[in-house]
């Protein structure tokens, strides 16, 4: 093609048709520029399609991760709520001077802790690629809010419970209990003596407050998950 255009230009020069040559040269330049612009546009279209495809794929993976998180967090939420209700039962029984066998099973349900780790592999891949890859700014912001804020709060709340167990309850279990089976049985040497100590009631109430912190932060994280999954669904329509 280039040889063809060159041949035409040479003929025009040979025939001393300078005016036509200039017009032709300008026209040729215009055609070349148009060709370049078309090629760039096609390239941009291809890049846009690739970006859209990547966005759909990574959001699909993130959505799957969020679904898993939602299931796991819902389980942890129920455990925390059950522990709070059980704590209330214990405090009610003790306030009425009732020290029956149920107490050792109820204690086992509250003197424990949970661990949770979110499925964040897809979000980590997105961060490495660049979160700006996501076209919807609201989704970007909500993802950051969930992974960097909501999850941090959940982890911190759960670590508070675990820390209280290790630092506060383990020494008590060693000194004041004759039996401890994880989540099954937690039996004091002398139930009445143990529960009539003001420090025991205070410790149980503090542990209960930690559980309430779990509930607040887990519920907040679950709300955030629902919002993000809805935004992803709307974007993919």
User: What are the per-10-residue average pLDDT scores of the chain (237 residues)?
Assistant: 51 54 59 67 64 88 97 97 94 89 91 94 93 92 97 96 93 94 93 91 92 96 98 88
Task: Give the pLDDT of residue 236.
Answer: 80
How far apart CA 210 and CA 201 sit, in angstroms, is 14
How far apart CA 211 and CA 46 sit, in angstroms, is 52
Q: Could you tell me the CA-to-CA distances from 81 to 68, 85, 206 in Å, in that order?
A: 20, 6, 15
Q: Could you tell me the CA-to-CA distances from 199 to 92, 150, 202, 203 in Å, in that order?
A: 16, 33, 5, 6
- Sole residue written with tokens 């032709």: 24
pTM, rounded to two decimals: 0.79
How far apart CA 194 and CA 192 sit, in angstroms, is 5
How far apart CA 140 and CA 133 sit, in angstroms, is 9
């Amino acid at each position: 093609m280039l040889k063809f255009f060159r041949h035409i230009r040479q003929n025009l020069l040979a025939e001393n048709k300078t005016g036509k040559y200039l017009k032709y040269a300008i026209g040729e330049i215009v055609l070349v520029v148009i060709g370049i612009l078309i090629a760039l546009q096609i390239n941009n279209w291809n890049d846009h399609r690739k970006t859209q495809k990547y966005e759909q794929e990574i959001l699909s993976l993130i959505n799957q991760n969020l679904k898993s998180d939602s299931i796991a967090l819902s389980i942890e939420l129920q455990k925390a709520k059950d522990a709070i209700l059980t704590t209330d039962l214990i405090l009610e029984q003790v306030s009425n001077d009732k020290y029956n066998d149920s107490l050792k099973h109820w204690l086992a349900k509250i003197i424990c802790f949970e661990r949770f780790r979110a499925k964040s592999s897809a979000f980590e891949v997105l961060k490495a690629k660049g979160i700006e890859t996501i076209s919807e700014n609201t989704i970007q912001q909500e993802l950051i809010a969930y992974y960097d804020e909501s999850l941090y709060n959940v982890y911190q709340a759960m670590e508070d419970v675990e820390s209280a167990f290790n630092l506060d309850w383990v020494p008590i279990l060693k000194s004041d209990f004759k039996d401890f089976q994880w989540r099954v049985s937690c039996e004091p040497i002398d139930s009445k003596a143990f529960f009539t100590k003001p420090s025991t009631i205070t410790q149980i109430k503090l542990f209960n407050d930690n559980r309430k912190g779990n509930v607040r932060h887990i519920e907040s994280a679950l709300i955030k998950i629902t919002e993000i999954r809805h935004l992803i669904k709307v974007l993919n329509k």
